[in-house]
Structure 1
Amino acid sequence: MSRLPLRTRFGSWLLYAFAVLAALLATQWVAHLQVRSYLRDEAARAWFLARSGSTPFQWQFRQRDDLIAGTVFGASRFHVDDSGIHVDGDHTPVEIGLRLSQPLDLRQFDQLTIRTTPDKAARQIIIRETLDAPQVSAMLDVPPTAVGPIDLSALAWRDEDGRPASVPRRADMVRLRLDRSATAMLDIHSVRFAPSAGATRLPAVTEVPHVTSVESALLLRDALRRREPSALVVYAGDIPTESTHAPSPAGAGWRWLLTGLAATGMVLLRLRPPHSPSWRAGLEATALLAGPLAVILGGHLGDNLGAWTTVAIALTVAFALTLRWPAWREWISPSMAAWRGPALAMLVALVVGAWFLAQAPDAHWPTPTQFARYTAWAFVQQFLLCGLVATRLEQAGLSSRATALAVATLFALMHTPNAALMLATFVGGLIWSTAWLRDRNLAGIGLSHAVAATILFATAPTALLRSAEVSARFLL
């Protein structure tokens, strides 16, 4: 009589194990698909521009995202519209940092055109060949741009001490300094680095097998670009051809329309919630997840938070603030049993970290301030995923196992396309969400998250864990 329940339990656990494995493989497939798509589109765009004699290095300044930190350094007031950047206020010099999606090959794109009003404002270009290299600079005291572009190879380059320097071969950082001594008003319309007439050459493309991990593919691309700034890496079969066209960027109009619909849905959900508690919980969980998943999976989380990204995140935060939060008893549990799950995650991280150190004893531990900041961020993540989302998925009718698996999968997807980090967050998310559903101890899982992640970030080799970045930031 007792053998049937045992078989039933064994079959249930076996089925759950298959579901966990399938979800884990699916998250890794998503990461691989996104990186492959990014590399393919990057190569297609570079190939198309090179064949057409155009350049990927041009800025129209119609949005703040074109600028490093989204600002004009040294300007007390400025604004951006369809005609460029408009700076006013005083006569002090200003600087703008140009966002580079890839290293700038100055041997090929050596013709600089700057359109400003007034066009005779004194200008200076400041370059770092790599981010940790010393900067070099040159004055751009040339005739107005109507006469022609500036030949960067003909400029008198100086190092930081004012001594003559070699012409830079590449740039990982570009800043432009403009003097407003003649007038307080300055309009910056566009900047363009282009090749000399007839000097265009197609970029070198390297194919990697489909079994290559996303980390290895990106590390190879970075290594090649240290020698050849325009080098491209694609997966086998994705190499661009003569018929390749530039990929079409997704329109922002649809994003704003869907965001407006989402905001309307959130308001209606708070003012006129469904009578069914399960429906209400499910819709609330969906509303909490829609914004972050759209931002991260869509590759919109870059160096600067654009207007749409900021609004999408703000909507999620605002909606979360209107919901019922976990009771105070669920923030910390005095029961030792409630700390078993969090302790397991820390133990797994310790074992993995020790193994990493045995292979290469080169850990990079954070400062106390950095650890404190990350601990706060870990608590925010666990509060949203466990305290709000997992609780509502359970209220919507999912079993504890299904809820834990769903939360782990969602947690991994919020770290796409960082495949190694997705693997770690899936395992951690499964442990933490299971512990939350059983013991309701946010303090335990928040602290466990902070400690486990710190150990992995400090000890994991770059070949395995490229960085802790997600979305577009991971691909830069």
Structure 2
Amino acid sequence: MGSEQLAQRDEKIVAFWEIISVVASVLITSWVVVPLSGSNRLGSVVPGLLAVAFMLYSHRLHGETAREIGWRVDNFLPATCLLIGPMVLGALLLLLVGWVARKAGLGEPERVRSAWWILLWGFAWGLLQQYALQGFIHRRLRILLGRGPKAYLSVALIFALLHAPNLGLMAATFLGGLIWASVYDRVPNLLALGLSHSTMSWLLIRTLPDSLIVGLRVGYKYFT
């Protein structure tokens, strides 16, 4: 095995363990740290901050610039244009599922959160998730699997896994993960993805009954 092949193998090994580290951090937080922390929210924030610090350090080691990761505005419009079609189809699908669910007597959607939720907390949370999912995990999966459908599918599966055992959210995040991964691969813009993420989350809340999405709870909180 030549030196170049050895370097590629080592790079793949590192990428694999980087993905495992971030995914495990999220799962441990949602399944272990949250129930142990109780009402102390700081307990669940610390692991998240450590994961972000790890990802930032990894970018530095890999020589990835903020622009390469997707922190940029020059391609915001092209990325948004790619997202509009799938978002419209997704909105129509949510409306249809919500209508069928209401007819089946599964309850009404939540009416508490307003459009301001998108602009404030929803956008910030969606942006953070897209950064971790696309700007880090997706980029490491490219090293392992190359660019294209295999990486998209893996991103979607990981995203769905992180929302277990909420089956409604797992289905939604799998479909969303596929779309966002394919758009990121073509036009990497995290701002557009974050806005898309928060908008679709808001639509999910406003169209589907809580019996299907269980208050967006995942991990241990799903059962509380």
Cα separation, 2, equivalents of 1:283 and 1:311: 21
Classify 1:345/1:463 alpha carbon distance in 2 versus 1 (closer, same or farther; 3 Å).
same
The residue type paired with residue 351 of structure 1 is L
Retained in 1: the 8 A contact 2:138–2:151?
yes
Q: Percent identity?
A: 26
Cα separation, 1, equivalents of 2:213 and 2:140: 32
The residue number in structure 2 matching 1:327 is 66
Retained in 2: the 8 A contact 1:300–1:471?
no
The residue number in structure 2 matching 1:282 is 16
Retained in 1: the 8 A contact 2:109–2:208?
no
Deviation at 1:299, TM superposition (A): 5.0
Q: Tell me if 1:389 matches 2:137.
A: yes
Q: Tell me if 1:450 matches 2:198.
A: yes
Q: What does 1:151-230 align with in structure 2 at a 5 Å threshold?
A: none
Cα separation, 1, equivalents of 2:214 and 2:76: 38
Deviation string for 1:157-200 (max 9, x for gaps)?
xxxxxxxxxxxxxxxxxxxxxxxxxxxxxxxxxxxxxxxxxxxx
Q: What does 1:57-456 align with in structure 2 at a 5 Å threshold?
A: 276-296=10-30, 298-302=31-35, 303-304=38-39, 312-324=47-59, 327-328=66-67, 330-331=70-71, 332-334=73-75, 337-356=78-97, 358=99, 360=102, 364=111, 366-371=113-118, 372-456=120-204
Retained in 1: the 8 A contact 2:82–2:183?
yes
More RCO (CA 8 Å, sep 6+): 2
Classify 1:397/1:357 alpha carbon distance in 2 versus 1 (closer, same or farther; 3 Å).
closer
Runs of at least 5 residues in structure 1 that lack an aligned partner in the other structure: 1-272
- Secondary structure of 1:403's counterpart equals helix
The residue type paired with residue 201 of structure 2 is A
Deviation at 1:401, TM superposition (A): 1.2
Cα separation, 1, equivalents of 2:86 and 2:18: 28
Cα separation, 1, equivalents of 2:124 and 2:89: 22
Deviation string for 1:232-281 (max 9, x for gaps)?
xxxxxxxxxxxxxxxxxxxxxxxxxxxxxxxxxxxxxxxxx999433333
Cα separation, 1, equivalents of 2:94 and 2:121: 21
Classify 1:340/1:320 alpha carbon distance in 2 versus 1 (closer, same or farther; 3 Å).
same
Q: Which has the higher strand share?
A: 1
Deviation string for 1:4-39 (max 9, x for gaps)?
xxxxxxxxxxxxxxxxxxxxxxxxxxxxxxxxxxxx
Number of aligned positions between the proteins: 203
Cα separation, 1, equivalents of 2:98 and 2:14: 48
- Secondary structure of 1:440's counterpart equals coil
Classify 1:326/1:454 alpha carbon distance in 2 versus 1 (closer, same or farther; 3 Å).
farther
Deviation at 1:317, TM superposition (A): 2.5
- Secondary structure of 1:417's counterpart equals coil
The residue type paired with residue 13 of structure 2 is W
Cα separation, 2, equivalents of 1:339 and 1:307: 35
Cα separation, 2, equivalents of 1:463 and 1:401: 32
Retained in 2: the 8 A contact 1:349–1:456?
no
Deviation at 1:310, TM superposition (A): 5.6
Cα separation, 2, equivalents of 1:423 and 1:416: 10
Deviation string for 1:61-90 (max 9, x for gaps)?
xxxxxxxxxxxxxxxxxxxxxxxxxxxxxx
Cα separation, 2, equivalents of 1:408 and 1:475: 24
Retained in 2: the 8 A contact 1:408–1:426?
yes
Cα separation, 2, equivalents of 1:318 and 1:362: 37
Classify 1:310/1:338 alpha carbon distance in 2 versus 1 (closer, same or farther; 3 Å).
closer
Cα separation, 1, equivalents of 2:162 and 2:109: 28
Rg comparison, structure with higher value: 1
Cα separation, 1, equivalents of 2:206 and 2:65: 32
Retained in 2: the 8 A contact 1:345–1:452?
no
Cα separation, 2, equivalents of 1:301 and 1:274: 38
Retained in 2: the 8 A contact 1:295–1:309?
yes
What's the RMSD between the two structures over aligned residues? Answer: 3.0
The residue type paired with residue 287 of structure 1 is S
Retained in 1: the 8 A contact 2:76–2:189?
no
The alignment's TM-score, normalised by the length of structure 1, stands at 0.38
The alignment's TM-score, normalised by the length of structure 2, stands at 0.76
Retained in 2: the 8 A contact 1:418–1:474?
yes
Runs of at least 5 residues in structure 2 that lack an aligned partner in the other structure: 1-6, 103-107
The residue type paired with residue 355 of structure 1 is L
Retained in 2: the 8 A contact 1:278–1:397?
no
Cα separation, 2, equivalents of 1:341 and 1:382: 16
The residue type paired with residue 164 of structure 2 is T
Deviation at 1:289, TM superposition (A): 2.0
The residue type paired with residue 448 of structure 1 is S
